[in-house]
Amino acid sequence: MKHLPVTSLLTASLLACVSTSALADVQPWADTSKPADQRAAAAVAAMTLDEKLGLVMGYTDPEQLMKEPDDIVSAAIKADVAANHIKGSAGYIAGIPRLGIPAQWQTDASIGVRVTGMERTALPSSLATAASFDPKITEMGGIMIATEARASGFNIFLAGGGNLAREPRNGRNFEYTGEDPLLTGRMTGGLINGIQSQHMVSTMKHWAVNDQESQRTTVDATISKPAMRQSDLLAFEMIYDLSNPGSVMCSYNLVNGDWACENDYLNNRVLKQDWGFKGYVMSDWGAVHSSAKAANAGLDQFTGYPCCGHHGAFFSAKTLKADIASGAIPMSRIDDMAERILWPLFAKGVVDNPVKVGPIDFEADANVSQKAAEASLVLLKNDAIDGKSLLPLAGVKSIAIIGGHADKGVMAGGGSSGVTPVGGNAVPGLEPKTWPGPVVFMPSSPVEALKAAKPDASITYISGDNIKQAAALAKKSEVAIVFVTQWMGEGLDNPLELPGNQDALVAAVVKANPKTIVVVESGGAILMPWAGKVPAILEAFYPGARGGQAIANILTGQVNPSGHLPISFPASNAQLAHAEIPGFHKPDGIRVGITYDEGAAIGYKWYDVKGYTPLFAFGHGLSYTTFAVSAPKAALDGSDLVVGGTVQNSGGVAGAAVMQVYVSPTDWQAAGWEAPKRLVAFHKADLTPGGSAAFSQKVDPKLLATYDEATDSWVIKGGVYHVRLGQASDDLPQSVDITLPDSRWSAVH
Ligand code: BGC
């Protein structure tokens, strides 16, 4: 690859002539024993204005860039981008070779390396891995994808999706980790920790309240500050607390009247002032609308120019120099921007560990992806027929497999997080073929995997396009498995109904053969009008590079399912907080507004407030064994609430239990809560039959508090709280009471 030698050779030749300590004398920022902020400040002090301005604007698509006037993008920048941007990747920012500062090579996204035409390993969708309820799974995934990214020449990962699934029809929910702030914090935090452990900078994105894709570049989200702090921002705060991402990507939308990338409240007040964020705010691609306003409101890097066609080069050297000259942007802000960009490059080891293109162990990486899928698939239903649960498949002699291209592979989501799979797209040619397509299927066929696992069974696949034929095949088979799919792509929201004739297909098949299993490959929640009739349902989301194998292993009992839902599945559209999404399926660019008057009552909290019973509740997930949960423990350790409990595998096979602890105030409205209960702790434990495990966790006090805008503080209202333990938000059989004292503390970290 052309780009590597530029910086690394210069650094290497410098290092060859000068010893490390002598180098540190000339370049104090090369001293690895110094803290990252000191190194960043020292490097910025040595920079010219042009060098600083070179860091704050990023580029993509050299071909388009060449068409820009030279006074906006200099000929030198054009030449550098043309030489060093990795073709087909998200973005590039030049390094400063004379100071040993490497270039920034940016790649999407949370499930793996996305470069057009480059085959790489995909994890299951982020929503899928959130269902593992095991942050070790996302951390291992983060390590795997970062290893591939570095071996592909990248040092900045545009990963870490952390928007809450406030709107179940949001077309990017598959890139996020569910509807609950604690779950999102721990699962996305795990991913970022894994990535950043490999000398990469990760973003967390899309900051903030970017909860619908319809009109995503023009929609204004209105929400009160307390509601935002207790929901969308709380999820990001938890990710931040747990993983300290080097960068935060501000989103396309407006929040309370200001674009996210020029939103003083979000970027300066919350992120930088209250949370003490030391890294840099980078824009989403093309999400900037001004120079001075954005810079002064906390945007540090304008990325992806000239992506998306509709915005100007607001952070070009020419524009910023004019703003500095007029006093619209103080010089100290430019220094701060440069220092913030350099801080994570030092802190996360990017400067000290230059990227090196190298070989990738695709087999080992696919195994990581398969393990993640096996820990994440959710068994939603497994009723007994003739006294025996339908799953796992045992002693079955003939199986009809219907639909979902299950003969070829498993579905993946579209847009900037789409990874070209190793082995190529298993089902090319499906619509949409262009952005946010193409629709990609990972070449991991559930049919082939089932045939390998069940050599004695006769397994027949049929597409399901002809419902009558499918029903006839199901009728003459012992068991039928229907694969249904729902494709999601960036920039588009989705109805919850399955597309095409899939609902009719399932209804016809289960009518023909009651022993029907449905496997769902979806971006998020879907409606299942047939759920009452179908005895067994497995939610696979988008299960990644080895998804077919993982599905087969779970259906056949080689692996015991242990995923739990990271989002509620509504029983009908009537249960949604918003009847309609403004601007849904209309051409882009219409100015619309959405008022989130449900506040922080998202997902299960909304269902609780309204008294709705969802089809499947947040946290729900079945196993082939059974677990017995003890009474919870709750105690105060100083001012901290510590909760815990014990779980025993009371069934006959090994499996993993997910214990979930929720807290309810005696009177949730008097306590100022948005809803009757909140998830405050969870723990996953692998258990052999008869085995038991105990856990104990300190509760983040913000999960017990409300945000007080007037004093910028968190407040717990003293009183009796119920601590409830179980295995789903609607299955909390055990409870204990604890009295919490009044407390109040500053929201400033
Ligand atoms: C997406 C980001 C992505 C960026 C760069 C944007 O369209 O919203 O998530 O990181 O493109 O590809």
CA of 548 relative to ligand 1 center, distance in Å: 28
- Give the residue carrying structure tokens 């894709």: 213
CA of 610 relative to ligand 1 center, distance in Å: 35
Closest protein CA for atom 9 of ligand 1: 416
Which of these three, 542, 575, 608, is where a domain ends? 575
For residue 436, give both structure tokens.
């946010």
Q: Give, for 304, the enclosing helix (H) or strand (E).
A: strand 302-305
Closest protein CA for atom 6 of ligand 1: 285
Closest protein CA for atom 12 of ligand 1: 90
Best mutation site among 416, 419, 488, 588 for ligand 1 pocket (most ligand atoms within 8 Å of CB)? 416
Least confident of 64-78, 125-139, 429-443, 644-658: 64-78
Identify whether 200 is part of a domain: no
Query: Rounded distance, CA 84 to CA 90, Å?
Result: 13
526 and 644 in a common domain:
no
For residue 519, give both structure tokens.
């496997």
| Section 188-216 average pLDDT | 98
Query: Rounded distance, CA 439 to CA 446, Å?
Result: 18
CA of 587 relative to ligand 1 center, distance in Å: 19
Neighbours of 485 (CB within 10 A): 25
Identify whether 140 is part of a domain: no
Which of these three, 553, 575, 597, is where a domain ends? 575
Give the residue among 740, 610, 627, 618 at the shortest CA–CA distance from 679: 618
| Section 104-113 average pLDDT | 98
Least confident of 10-14, 328-332, 424-428, 644-648: 10-14
Closest protein CA for atom 2 of ligand 1: 284
| Residue 221: alpha-carbon gap to chain centroid | 20
Best mutation site among 158, 281, 310 for ligand 1 pocket (most ligand atoms within 8 Å of CB)? 158
pTM over 0.85: yes
Closest protein CA for atom 8 of ligand 1: 284
CA of 216 relative to ligand 1 center, distance in Å: 12
537 and 640 in a common domain:
no
Count up the domains in the chain and report the number: 2
| Section 76-101 average pLDDT | 97
Q: Give, for 225, the enclosing helix (H) or strand (E).
A: helix 225-229
Query: Rounded distance, CA 541 to CA 387, Å?
Result: 29
| Section 306-326 average pLDDT | 90
| Section 96-109 average pLDDT | 98
Best mutation site among 110, 111, 490, 588 for ligand 1 pocket (most ligand atoms within 8 Å of CB)? 490
Identify whether 192 is part of a domain: no
Q: How confident is the model at residue 25 (pLDDT cuts 50, 70, 90)?
A: confident
pLDDT of residue 312: 84
Q: How do residues 208-262 score in pLDDT, each as one tens digit?
A: 999 999 999 999 999 999 999 999 999 999 999 999 999 999 999 999 999 999 9
CA of 60 relative to ligand 1 center, distance in Å: 12
Q: How do residues 724-744 score in pLDDT, each as one tens digit?
A: 999 999 999 999 999 999 999
Q: Give, for 480, the enclosing helix (H) or strand (E).
A: strand 479-485
406 and 466 in a common domain:
yes
Neighbours of 720 (CB within 10 A): 12
- Give the residue carrying structure tokens 């300190």: 698
Give the residue among 657, 595, 659, 670 at the shortest CA–CA distance from 633: 659
Residue 4 Rama label (left phi>0; alpha psi -120 to 50; beta): alpha
CB distance 381 to 536 below 8 Å: yes
pLDDT of residue 295: 98
Q: How do residues 374-421 score in pLDDT, each as one tens digit?
A: 999 999 999 999 999 999 999 999 999 999 999 999 999 999 999 999
Identify whether 290 is part of a domain: no
**Atom nearest to 308 CA in ligand 1:** 7
CA of 716 relative to ligand 1 center, distance in Å: 38
The C-alpha torsion from 629 through 635 and 637 to 643, rounded to 10°, is 20
Please, what is the angle between helix 362-374 and helix 135-151, to 10°?
Answer: 160
Neighbours of 1 (CB within 10 A): 12
Give the residue among 540, 491, 537, 577 at the shortest CA–CA distance from 217: 491
CA of 204 relative to ligand 1 center, distance in Å: 12
571 and 640 in a common domain:
no
DSSP string, 88-137: TSSEEE--BGGGTBPPEEEEE-SSS-B-TT-EEPPPPPHHHHHTT--HHH
Q: How confident is the model at residue 65 (pLDDT cuts 50, 70, 90)?
A: very high
CB distance 310 to 259 below 8 Å: no
CA of 526 relative to ligand 1 center, distance in Å: 25
> In 3-state terms, what secondary structure has residue 638?
coil
CA of 663 relative to ligand 1 center, distance in Å: 36
Domain CATH code at residue 407: 3.40.50.1700
Identify whether 528 is part of a domain: yes
Ligand 1 neighbours by CB, cut-off 6 Å: 90, 108-109, 158, 205, 284-285, 304, 416
Cβ burial 604-639 (10 Å sphere, 16+ → b, else e): bbbbbbeebebbbbbbbbbbbbbbebeebbbeeeee
**Gyration radius of the chain over CA positions:** 26
Best mutation site among 108, 113, 283, 308 for ligand 1 pocket (most ligand atoms within 8 Å of CB)? 108
**Atom nearest to 161 CA in ligand 1:** 9
Instruction: Work out whether strand 156-158 and strand 201-207 pair parallel, antiparallel, or are unpaired.
Output: parallel
CA of 683 relative to ligand 1 center, distance in Å: 32
Closest protein CA for atom 7 of ligand 1: 285
Closest protein CA for atom 4 of ligand 1: 285
Q: How confident is the model at residue 70 (pLDDT cuts 50, 70, 90)?
A: very high
CA of 59 relative to ligand 1 center, distance in Å: 13
DSSP string, 267-293: IIIIIIIIS---SEEEE-TT----SHH
pLDDT of residue 7: 40
555 and 430 in a common domain:
yes
**Atom nearest to 216 CA in ligand 1:** 8
Q: Where are the alpha helices (DSSP H) in 454-566?
A: 467-476, 502-512, 547-555
CA of 281 relative to ligand 1 center, distance in Å: 14
Identify whether 424 is part of a domain: yes
Strand partners for 662: 679, 724
649 and 548 in a common domain:
no
Q: How do residues 653-677 score in pLDDT, each as one tens digit?
A: 999 999 999 999 999 999 999 999 9
Range of the domain at 546: 371-575
Give the residue among 466, 454, 461 at the shortest CA–CA distance from 483: 461
CA of 306 relative to ligand 1 center, distance in Å: 13
For residue 195, give both structure tokens.
């990535």
Identify whether 409 is part of a domain: yes
549 and 409 in a common domain:
yes
- Angle (CA) 269 270 274, round 5°: 90
Q: Indicate if the pLDDT at residue 3 is higher than 50.
A: no
CA of 523 relative to ligand 1 center, distance in Å: 18
499 and 635 in a common domain:
no
Least confident of 128-142, 257-271, 296-310: 296-310
Closest protein CA for atom 3 of ligand 1: 416
570 and 631 in a common domain:
no
**Atom nearest to 206 CA in ligand 1:** 9
Closest protein CA for atom 5 of ligand 1: 90
Percentage of the chain beyond pLDDT 70 is: 97
Burial class (CB in 10 A: 0-12, 13-18, 19+), 670: exposed
Give the residue among 209, 340, 326, 342 at the shortest CA–CA distance from 277: 340
508 and 402 in a common domain:
yes
Backbone angles phi, psi at 222, to 5 degrees: -105, 125
CB distance 217 to 252 below 8 Å: yes
Give the residue among 486, 618, 644 at the shortest CA–CA distance from 564: 618
547 and 416 in a common domain:
yes
Identify whether 544 is part of a domain: yes
Give the residue among 156, 128, 146, 190 at the shortest CA–CA distance from 413: 128
For residue 501, give both structure tokens.
């004739």
pLDDT of residue 18: 58
CB distance 234 to 607 below 8 Å: no
Q: Indicate if the pLDDT at residue 78 is higher than 60.
A: yes
CA of 284 relative to ligand 1 center, distance in Å: 6
Closest protein CA for atom 11 of ligand 1: 285
> In 3-state terms, what secondary structure has residue 383?
coil
Query: Rounded distance, CA 493 to CA 258, Å?
Result: 23
Domain CATH code at residue 677: 2.60.40.10
Q: Indicate if the pLDDT at residue 8 is higher than 80.
A: no
Which of these three, 534, 553, 575, is where a domain ends? 575
Q: Indicate if the pLDDT at residue 16 is higher than 90.
A: no
Long-range contacts of 32-35 (CB under 8 A, 24+ apart): 32/352
Tell me the pLDDT of the chain averaged across its residues.
96
635 and 557 in a common domain:
no
